[in-house]
Structure formats: C-alpha cells, structure tokens
C-alpha cells in the first residue's frame, strides 16, 4: 500500500533546499521499501511524497522524522520573504485542475495518491512505472546531493538525450525529430523567455558530443538499464496507447525525472527545442 504526504513549502527554491538538507536524510535514515516524489504547485508549492513500508513501526518512525524535519526547516526560515501563492493559468489549463484551494505553508497533509492509469499505460502497467518512479527518485536524489544547479541542468539534458536513445532502440519512436517535436509541443505555451545564446550553443555542442560517444557514460548506465528494463515490462502490459503515440510513455518518464530535478516547464521547452534546432532559455 502506498502512503502519501504532501509537504507544503510555498517557495520552490526552498523546496530544493529542503530536499537536499532534510528529506533525503530522512530517506537515508528510515529507508522506505519503495518511495518516490514530485514537485507540484496545486494548493501551493509542495513536495508529493509516496512511500511504502511493510513494517508499521518503521512507517510511524518515518512519519515522525518528516514532521520533525519540517518543523526545524520552518524555524530556520522564519524570516523568509514568501510571496503570496498564485497560479500560472497555463499550467492550470494544461493539468486540467479545478480544485485551487491553498494549504498552509509548512504544513503536511495526508492526501491520497491517485495513480494516473491512462497516462502510464493502464492499471497493470502502472506497477512497473511506479518501480521506475522509485529508481528515478533515487537518481534525482544522487544528482541533487552531488551537483549545484548549473551542472544539474546539463545532466538533465544528457538524460533526455540518452532516454530518447532507449526509446529509439525499443522501437517506440521513428526519429529524434518526431520524439522531441512531441515533447516540445507539450510545453509550447511556456515558450516565452529571454534568450541565452551561450547556453544554447554549449548544449548543441554537448548534443553532438553525446551522439559521437561509443558508450553511455558510466554515471548514467545503471539508471538507463533500469529505464529500459521497466519500459520493456510497461510495453508488454500497457493498454492505453496505440503504436503511433507510444513514445509519450517515455516522454512522461523523462518529464518526471526533470520535475524531480527542478527543471521548469520553460526549460523543458528550451531543452527539447535544442534537439530541433530551436532555443530560448530561462536558466
């Protein structure tokens, strides 16, 4: 059974700090059997944390640690200049959300996890996606713990490219253009932003360098093997996609890793555009 906590911290920058300085150490200390997280905006900026424990005592200890760490974090940021919570109409429309009530800052809410069956291939396939959510969260944890933001941005770009390579190898897409055109369209309403020509050129060079590599870098290999293994099971069991749009399964999993890394919709639009010869960034 999945347990679900929403941890509200009304500043996405502070959410990044809470992940690295508190939440990940709780994960290390209490080690759920499975876990994953996403960053989300509905109800105010927050972390959606899903986790499983076979042992109720371990779950109770974990819940207590979560509460303690959020209280410590609140004390440490008493004077933080929070802005009033407001919603971006583009994301509200994209997500099709109607409940826009705002939850208190520095609060934890038990809000049930509702799996997105349709998006991830149906009920039977969902279990394999959840295994991948766990692996993706572990990967994000490693990256966030190891790298400051500018380098994290480059790693996200690499993993988009190599994950496309997995999709291509598995016959999920006909071409890089088809794949990243689909990705780009998802975020096209977020396309406006100041230009960063230097960033675009650097990533274009990196894209070519990645293509020329004989092997995937070691640092990515275990994650990409797990991605391919899980995707094989998902493709065997999914019942919500036709052949012509099956690549959206991989698009969704790339997006969720980007979300965990803190990549904004504007930058997802920018990064996917690099593969299409386009580029506007808000780094």
Angle made by CA atoms 154, 158, 160, in degrees to the nearest 5: 115
Residue 95's Cα: distance from chain center in Å? 15
**pLDDT one-digit tens code per residue, 192-211:** 456 578 889 999 999 999 99
Strands of 34-40's sheet in order across: 34-40, 46-52, 3-8, 107-109
Question: Is pLDDT above 60 for 280?
Answer: no
pLDDT given at position 189? 86
b/e per residue 203-212 (b: at least 16 CB within 10 A):
beeebeeeee
**pLDDT attached to residue 282:** 46
Predicted pLDDT at 29: 96
- The pLDDT of 19-23, averaged and rounded, is 98
Closest by Cα among 37, 40, 36, 5 to 111: 5
Helix (H, G, I), strand (E, B) or coil at 191: coil
CATH architecture of 3-109: 2-Layer Sandwich (3.30)
> What's the mean pLDDT when you consider all of the chain?
94
Q: What is the pLDDT of residue 249?
A: 98
The tokens of 57 are what?
């005592």
Which tens digits make up the pLDDT trace of 110-125? 999 999 999 999 999 9
Where in the chain are the domains? Answer: 3-109, 123-274
Q: How confident is the model at residue 78 (pLDDT cuts 50, 70, 90)?
A: very high
DSSP-based three-state secondary structure for 139: helix
| Residue 5: strand, helix, or coil | strand
pLDDT in tens, 157-198: 999 999 999 999 999 999 999 999 999 999 988 874 565 788
Q: Is the pLDDT of residue 80 over 60?
A: yes
Helical segments of the chain, H only: 12-18, 24-30, 56-76, 89-95, 123-146, 149-169, 176-186, 197-212, 218-237, 247-261, 265-274
Predicted structure pTM score? 0.94
- Spacing of C-alpha 207 from chain mean position: 21
């Amino acid at each position: 059974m999945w347990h679900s906590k929403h941890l509200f911290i009304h500043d996405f920058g502070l959410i990044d700090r809470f992940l690295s300085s508190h939440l990940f150490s709780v994960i290390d200390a209490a080690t759920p059997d499975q876990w994953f997280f996403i960053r989300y905006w509905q109800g105010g900026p927050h972390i959606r944390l899903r986790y499983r424990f076979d042992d109720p005592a371990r779950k109770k200890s974990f819940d207590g640690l979560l509460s303690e760490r959020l209280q410590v974090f609140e004390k440490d940021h008493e004077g933080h200049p929070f802005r009033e919570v407001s919603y971006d109409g583009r994301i509200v429309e994209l997500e099709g959300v109607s409940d826009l009530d705002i939850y208190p800052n520095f609060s934890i809410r038990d809000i049930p996890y509702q799996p997105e069956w349709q998006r991830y291939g149906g009920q039977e396939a969902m279990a394999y996606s959840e295994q991948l959510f766990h692996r993706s969260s572990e990967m994000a944890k490693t990256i966030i713990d190891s790298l400051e933001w500018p380098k994290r941005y480059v790693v996200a770009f690499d993993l988009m490219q190599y994950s496309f390579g997995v999709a291509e190898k598995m016959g999920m897409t006909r071409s890089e253009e088809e794949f990243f055109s689909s990705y780009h369209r998802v975020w096209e309403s977020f396309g406006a932003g100041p230009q960063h020509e230097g960033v675009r050129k650097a990533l274009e060079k990196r894209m070519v360098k990645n293509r020329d590599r004989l092997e995937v870098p070691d640092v990515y290999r275990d994650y990409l093997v797990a991605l391919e293994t899980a995707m094989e099971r998902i493709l065997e069991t999914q019942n919500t996609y036709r052949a012509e749009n099956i690549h959206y399964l991989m698009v969704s999993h790339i997006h969720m890793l980007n979300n965990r890394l803190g990549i904004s919709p504007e930058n997802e639009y920018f990064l996917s555009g690099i593969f299409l010869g386009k580029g506007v960034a808000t780094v």
